[in-house]
Amino acid sequence: MTAVWRDVAPDGGLREPCSYELELDPAQLRDLYRLMALGRRVDRQAINLTRQGALGVYASSLGQEAAQVGATVALEQDDWLFPTYRDTVGVFARGVDIVEILALFQGSWHCGFDPLRCRVAPLTTPLATHAPHATGLAMAARLRHDPIVALTFLGDGAASEGDSHEAMNMAAVFQAPVVFVVQNNHYAISVPIDLQMHASSIALRAAGYGMPGVLVDGNDVLSVYGATRAAIDRARAGGGPTLIEAVTYRIEPHTTADDDTRYRSAVEIDAWRARDPLERFLALLRESDMVDDAFLATVDAEGETIAARMRDALFGAPDGDPREMFDHVYAAKTSQLQAQQTALDRELSATEETE
Amino acid sequence: MTVTMAAALNTALRDAMRDDDTVVVYGEDVGRLGGVFRITDGLQQEWGTERCFDTPVAESGIVGTAIGMALYGLRPVVEMQFDGFAYPALDQVISHVAKYRNRTRGTVGLPMVIRIPYGGGIGAVEHHSESPETYYAHTAGLTVVSPGTPGDAYALLRSAIAFPDPVVFLEPKRRYWLKEDVELPVDGEPIGRALVRRTGTTATLIAYGPMVSTAMEAADTATQDGWELEVIDVRTLSPLDSDTLATSVTKTGRAIVVHEGPRFAGYGAEIAATLTERVFGHLAAPVLRVTGFDVPYPPAKIERHYLPTADRILDAVAHALEY
Ligand SMILES: Cc1ncc(C[n+]2csc(CCOP(=O)(O)OP(=O)(O)O)c2C)c(N)n1
Ligand SMILES: [Mg+2]
């Protein structure tokens, strides 16, 4: 199986596409497909659950499964992932419990999972602010001489933020083992990519930082995997950071609360549906006889099981004890917080009594 | 031994790096140059470029990478070159530094220190004399510390570096050259505790950072009028040790808060409100404030008219005694 991408030349131009042979056995390829398919099922279920009120809002990964799964699967167990609100499917593919991931969209006051155990930072909503965290973690790993790599997802909009620049420049200066994966899905809410930048590609910026840049078809999971894997291997070997731009498309509105008919056409969306990353990969696997109907049925069944678990866990999930909002502001509760907690407790006890 | 606050801070960093190999110090010009105020002088020579290093000029990146480092288990101590140039990092401080422990339900604390030289009085041009303490103190999850003496500078910085939560460490830059007779190392002072620097009965002066010396000077002069002023050094702005303040004001019945920063929604407002809530019955006069004016900080040429002085403090005491 081959991966294809274009490297940014040191002069800041794009090189001709190159193809690389991937060393993935059939079982690994099937698993890539499985994670993408489960991710899509989970994504659809999250949208449904939002419509039914079990989630407050949801930012869909539909159409971006190849970019997210291809990138995160390239990480090793001890590596770190720094995702955004867009990357539910990528975090899911990393093995974090889907119900825990969705805490953000439930409106929970905490991120739902244990970042230290999962080696995944909380899904971050202030755009690009998590990018310097990835750089810093990678700098720390390098200082400690640990073979750890950090990978951070960014959107095309986030790439315009100053923190993207500071994170990439510092990563290059310190040769930090970090990989920046920009999913260029063509929109930042309603603002199209040509209002986000005047250049032809985000990847070209890599030349300006003195790091390798890669432009890859974000709807081709093998290419995303290959490009990310190569960047991760280079980072781990001491070769410093890489900027990867995965060109893809957001099929769903920005979030469940968005009305995308105000800024794009159904024709445009349909054109991208025709390049669906899941269908495309499945066609390839079928062509090479790597999957059969029985396998696909197992994946479907697994997806249904997870979807049912999401429904069970998220419907009627308790709000949580509001008294806990005071518990983790500091390692040790201050007297002020203690007093406020006591006041809320009194208020709650009074309501409980009258009920 | 006579030490300046600058030397005390430098020694604190040096000792912390010696005692804990997870402590790393970085920022703009902190390596070869030793910082524009020389607070990190010699650290790179002693500990190498892995433990003390210069970064690109990128305040948000400096604080943001420190978050990643703390996440990985290091204890970064980063320097913001000046108060007015720490603002690019405010987003990281407010959105992440302050919230990480809470957002992760207590699993990820960020043991990191953000050192910021702050305040006026050094004849600097604009943007170099800001008093941003309330921006930080207002933000839940931050611990905000400001020493007023060399001994405290050492002790509090050591405590801040060892602290399990992020600390914004505000260094009163006009007092970097303030001297004190003190043997270093002194024991780490507990964060979150104010100190009665001078006892008295007439009224309580409440100050922190650069204004501690000014308040002490006012208290010295006040004895000529027969006034015995109690002086409290707040030291930790957040969380506030309101017990020590309340105890003092219960005794004296009068309180004057002193700070350089503007008055409106300034730190003094919080202290006045807290004392009013806690010891209203003991107050013989309203809590008064001696502060900077509600103007952008006026640089070198006229800053002396802006900065609170011992005279202004004594005027406020006289006013409080009129009630
Ligand atoms: C600092 C900041 N500014 C604005 C927003 C509001 N906002 C949320 S998502 C978004 C668009 C982001 O677009 P992009 O980075 O391309 O990511 P995508 O949603 O397309 O995955 C905006 C403007 C924000 N979350 N953070
Ligand atoms: Mg986008």
Give the domain ranges of chain A.
2-320, 323-354
Query: Under CATH, which architecture does the A2-320 domain have?
Result: 3-Layer(aba) Sandwich (3.40)
Residue B55's nearest CA partner among A160, A177, A176, A239 is A176
Q: Which residues of B touch A (CB under 8 A)?
A: 24, 50, 55-56, 58, 60-61, 63-69, 71-74, 76, 88, 91-92, 95-96, 101-109, 140-141, 143, 164-165, 192, 239-240, 242-243
Rounded to two decimals, the pTM is: 0.97
Ligand 1 atom with the smallest distance to the CA of B91 is 1
The continuous run of DSSP H or E covering A6 comes out as strand A2-7
Hey, of A119, A139, A340, which one would you mutate to test binding to chain B, going by the most B CBs within 10 A of its CB? A139
User: Could you tell me the fold of the domain covering B195-321?
Assistant: Rossmann fold (3.40.50)
Ordered by start, the domain boundaries in chain B are 2-181, 195-321
pLDDT tens-digit map of A243-286? 999 999 999 999 999 999 999 999 999 999 999 999 999 999 99
Got the DSSP string for B13-62?
A: HHHHHHH-TTEEEEESS-SSS--TT-TTTTHHHHH-TTTEEE--S-HHHH
Q: pLDDT tens digits, residue range A300-353?
A: 999 999 999 999 999 988 889 999 999 999 999 999 999 999 999 999 999 887
Annotated catalytic residue, options B127, B128, B259, B319:
B128
Give chain B positions within 8 Å (CB) of A135.
61, 64-65, 68
Per-residue pLDDT of chain B (323 residues; tens, 9 = 90+): 899 999 999 999 999 999 999 999 999 999 999 999 999 999 999 999 999 999 999 999 999 999 999 999 999 999 999 999 999 999 999 999 999 999 999 999 999 999 999 999 999 999 999 999 999 999 999 999 999 999 999 999 999 999 999 999 999 999 999 999 999 999 989 999 999 999 999 999 999 999 999 999 999 999 999 999 999 999 999 999 999 999 999 999 999 999 999 999 999 999 999 999 999 999 999 999 999 999 999 999 999 999 999 999 999 999 999 99
Chain A partners within 8 Å of B239 (Cβ): 330, 334-336
Q: Using an 8 Å Cβ cutoff, are B274 and B232 in contact? A: no
Identify which ligand lies nearest to the alpha carbon of A59: 1
Question: Is the CB of residue A210 less than 8 Å away from at least one CB of chain B?
Answer: no
Q: Which two tokens stand for residue A319?
A: 């709000």
Smallest CA-to-CA distance from A85 within A106, A65, A59 is with A59
Fold classified for B2-181: Rossmann fold (3.40.50)
Ligand nearest, relative to CA of residue B95: 1
What are the C-alpha distances in Å from B93 to residues A127, B130, B277, B289? 15, 17, 30, 28
Mutate to test the interface with B, among A78, A80, A82, A133 (most CBs of B within 10 A): A133
Least Cα separation, residue A19 to chain B (angstroms): 34
**Residue count of chain B:** 323
Q: How many CB atoms lie within 10 A of CB A323?
A: 12
DSSP reduced 3-state for A167: helix
Tell me chain B's radius of gyration from C-alpha atoms: 19
Interface with chain B: mutation pick from A330, A333, A336, A340, highest number of B CBs within 10 Å: A330
Which pair of tokens denotes residue A219? 């709807």
So what's the pLDDT on residue B241?
98
Contact A163 B61 (CB under 8 A): yes
Which residues in chain A are contacts of B140 at CB distance < 8 A? 329
How many residues in chain A?
Answer: 355
A109·B102 Cβ contact <8 A: yes
For residues A30-41, average pLDDT:
98
Strands of chain B (E only): list them.
2-4, 23-27, 52-54, 75-79, 113-118, 143-145, 167-172, 179-181, 195-198, 203-207, 229-233, 236-238, 255-262, 288-292
Those residues whose C-beta lies under 8 Å from the C-beta of residue A217, and which sit 6 or more positions away, are A4, A5, A223, A224, A246, A247
Give which of A5, A1, A3 is closest to A206, Cα–Cα. A5
**A145 CB contacts (<8 Å, ≥6 apart)?**
none
* A351 interfaces chain B, CB cutoff of 8 Å: no
Strand, coil or helix: B213: helix
Q: Bridge-partner residues for A184, per DSSP?
A: A247
- The finding on whether A40 has its CB within 6 A of some atom of ligand 1 is no
Taking each continuous run of H as one helix and of E as one strand, the counts in chain A are 15, 9
Please judge whether A331 and B64 are an interchain contact, meaning their C-beta atoms are less than 8 angstroms apart. no
User: How far is the centre of ligand 2, averaged over its atoms, from the C-alpha of A153 (Å)?
Assistant: 11
Select the residue of B91, B95, B104 nearest A110 (Cβ to Cβ).
B104
DSSP-derived 3-state class of residue B105 = coil
Set of chain A residues whose Cβ sits within 8 Å of the Cβ of B104: 110-111, 114-115, 122, 328
Residues of chain A in contact with residue B271, where contact means CB-CB under 8 angstroms, are none
Q: Is the backbone of residue A107 left (phi > 0), alpha (psi -120 to 50) or beta?
A: left
Cross-chain residue pair A111–B55, CB shorter than 8 Å: no
Considering only alpha carbons, which residue of chain A is nearest residue B141? Answer: A329
Q: How far is A97 from chain B (nearest CA, A)?
A: 15
Cβ within 8 Å, pair A170-B92: no
Instruction: Confirm or reject: Cβ of A185 under 6 Å from ligand 1.
Output: yes
Residue A354 pLDDT? 73
Q: Can you tell me which atom of ligand 1 is nearest the CA of A158?
A: 15
Q: Could you tell me if A335 lies within 8 Å of chain B, comparing CB atoms? A: yes
Atom of ligand 1 nearest to the CA of A185: 20
Q: Is A211 on the interface with B (CB under 8 A)?
A: no
Residue numbers in B near A136 (CB within 8 A): 64-69, 71-72, 76
**pLDDT value of position B244:** 98
Question: What single letter denotes the amino acid at residue A102?
Answer: L
Closest CA of chain A from B312, distance in Å: 32
Residue numbers in B near A336 (CB within 8 A): 239-240, 242
- A265-273: long-range pairs with CB below 8 Å, 24+: A272/A63, A273/A63
Residue A38 banded pLDDT, cuts 50, 70, 90: very high
Q: Which residues of A170-186 are buried (b: 16+ CB within 10 A; e: fewer)?
A: bbbbbbbbbbbbbbbbb
Q: Do B72 and A141 touch (CB under 8 A)?
A: yes
* Amino acid A352: pLDDT: 81
Residue from A96, A109, A137 whose CB has the most chain B CBs within 10 Å, to mutate? A137
Given B63, B76, B103, which is nearest A122 (Cβ)? B103
Q: Is A155 in the pocket of ligand 1 (CB under 6 A)?
A: yes
A157 in contact with ligand 1, CB cutoff 6 A: yes
